[in-house]
Amino acid sequence: MARQTPARPVNRAVATQRAHLARELVETLLLVGLIFVIVHFTIQSFAVNDTSMGAALQPGQTVLVNTKAYLFGGPGRGDVVVITTDPSNPNATIARRIVGLPGDTVAVSATKIIVNGVTLNEPFIQVPAGSGENSTLNPAVKLGPNQYFVLADSRIGTDNTDSRTLGAVPMSDIIGKAVMVFWPVSQFHWIDTHSDDYSNIKNP
């Protein structure tokens, strides 16, 4: 009768190492899955197709939009947000800058935007020399709860649909905050909120 060779004992160190590697692999896959879910549900892209935002956003650029930026608080003055102008049409979106917050009183004259009695000083906006800033005049209006007054950085032209014509924008129409231009790579930049230019406006 043939003599059986006893099984070699498994090296405990090798088994421990394999278990450790398997655990790391599972943890890595779970982390990648979590990151994918977070990115998928919090980040959108927005393609710029007009000149309404002046130097901040140019046609052909693609913008990263944080759809959860206002989960724990509303937008601030100077934030560039992507809004829908027709909730039934996912392609009807524009990017605009917030200048008025809920409770603010906003008035529009031919040459000025006045928020809570303070005339805005926005050196970054585009208004050709000799042109009036606003072709549409709006008497003072007090924004209600969850209402925002948004403006294009390029204040004249055909692409500057904003609160001067749309009226106050409800929070429900704000898709998210435009954070940065990421395409083309050569034009990558963070989107400036110009918060200092709005710091002298007092809350109502």
User: What is the dihedral angle through the alpha carbons of 82, 40, 182, 155, rounded to the nearest 10 degrees?
Assistant: 0
Q: Which domains does the chain have, with CATH numbers?
A: 44-198 (2.10.109.10)
Contact 122, 194 (CB under 8 A): yes
Nearest to 42 by CA among 74, 71, 76, 78: 71
Pairwise pLDDT comparison (84 vs 11), residue with the higher score: 84
Which string of DSSP letters, residue by residue, matches 74-89? Answer: ---TT-EEEEES-TT-
Which pLDDT score, from 0 to 100, does residue 9 have? 52
77-95 tens-digit pLDDT: 999 999 998 877 877 899 9
What count of other Cβ atoms lies within 10 Å of the Cβ of residue 98? Answer: 24
* Calpha distance 159→164 (Å, rounded): 13
What distance in Å separates the CA atoms of residue 130 and residue 127, rounded to the nearest whole number? 8
Written as one letter, the residue type at 200 is N
The rounded mean pLDDT for the chain is 83
Residue 44 banded pLDDT, cuts 50, 70, 90: confident
**pLDDT tens digits, residue range 124-134?**
887 766 666 77
Q: Residue 32 has what pLDDT?
A: 58
Tell me what the mean pLDDT of segment 183-201 comes to. 93
